[in-house]
Amino acid sequence: MISRRTVAQHFSRAALSYDAAAVLQKEVANRLAERFPLLRIQPEQMMDLGAGTGFLSVHLCQQYPQAHLYAVDLSEAMLKACRTKLFSSASWWRKLNPFVSTVNASIVNADAYQLPFADQSIDILVSSLMLQWCDDLPKVLAECRRVLKPNGVLFVASLGPDTLKEIRQAWQVVEGQAEDRLLSFTDLHELGDALSRVGFSDPVCDVEHITMTYSDATSAVKDLKAIGATNANQQRSKGLMGKAKWRDFLAAYHQQAMPDGRIPATFEVVYAHAFVAEQQPREKTMPHTASIPVSAIKRWQG
């Protein structure tokens, strides 16, 4: 079970350091955004779910300047950074869109499990590297489908099971297992099946591997901490780690160095897009969900 409170705390603490370390997040946002024009859609209402500091939000505003964007995230601190990126640097916006006076966006602090939006209110919903922090994937995808209009489209990028395989292997050497140290990630087939089960039509999934390299193992782990990518599993070991065990882990990680001596960190990125069919009957509301008024959510209007 992933603690939503812990996820929010991790990313709030990482907000100030996030952009400097989030090389992978920027690259994945860029690659996901390249897929939007292929469908030739003209949305009126857009959502960036798990917007973070706004990498993908900026892409959406650039590509669809006439549409209204809702940047949604669980962490208030990350949303403050997103708001700054969208609204405080107006010069980039005026250069790209001389006929549109301002960024058309709202910042919404909310949980992906209970989105404060009406049924069938969003044309395009995107989410980049957020789903891996949700332990009930079908429930979150069902909530995405609920808010999407007929003919609406979902674009997602998430992490697959080969992610951080080098770190996983190092912990297996030291402790005989890595489950207490790293989250398990959903593979391509599981994501596609989950999209179909909750009622999305024509899901298309593909996968790629991106390998980051570091000068040493300590730098790799420090980078992960800087982007909030620490274990939020409620069952994780909460005891203090001894210095000896930590040294053993770093040594095991260093054993996987590349020929040039740099330390690899592999990320498996799973991409998917799917549609809400216009005439498809809607699923019943999933059990144990709740409706909350927009007034209960902290929101800034730009």
Residue 211 banded pLDDT, cuts 50, 70, 90: very high
Please state, in angstroms and as integers, the Cα–Cα distance from residue 160 to each residue in 8, 22, 296, following that order: 21, 18, 34
> Taking all residues of the chain, what is their mean pLDDT, rounded to a whole number?
83
CB contact set of 102 (below 8 Å; sequence gap of 6+): 90, 93, 302
Q: Is the pLDDT of residue 110 over 90?
A: yes
Residue 50: the pLDDT is 95
Can you read off the two tokens belonging to residue 248? 């053993």
**Contact, 71 vs 79, CB < 8 A?**
yes
Residue 228 banded pLDDT, cuts 50, 70, 90: low
Domains and CATH numbers, the chain: 4-163+184-209+269-301 (3.40.50.150)
Residue 232 banded pLDDT, cuts 50, 70, 90: very low
CB contact set of 251 (below 8 Å; sequence gap of 6+): none
Residue 296 banded pLDDT, cuts 50, 70, 90: very low
User: Residue 281: what are its φ and ψ, rounded to 5°?
Assistant: -60, 140
Query: Cα angle vertex 122, ends 119, 127, to 5°?
Result: 110
Q: Across residues 157-178, what is the average pLDDT? A: 89
Residue 101 banded pLDDT, cuts 50, 70, 90: low
Distance CA 276, CA 280 (A): 8
Q: Across residues 135-148, what is the average pLDDT? A: 96
Could you tell me which residue, 230 or 150, shows the higher pLDDT?
150
CB contact set of 79 (below 8 Å; sequence gap of 6+): 51, 71, 73, 107, 108, 109, 300
Angle in degrees, 0-180, between the axes of helices 165-175 and 217-226, rounded to the nearest 10:
110
Q: Is the pLDDT of residue 240 over 60?
A: no
Q: Is the pLDDT of residue 155 over 50?
A: yes
CB contact set of 16 (below 8 Å; sequence gap of 6+): 77, 81
Residue 126 banded pLDDT, cuts 50, 70, 90: very high
Helices (H), the chain: 4-21, 23-33, 55-63, 76-83, 90-96, 137-147, 165-175, 188-197, 217-226, 243-254
Residue 118: the pLDDT is 97
Q: Is the pLDDT of residue 91 over 70?
A: no
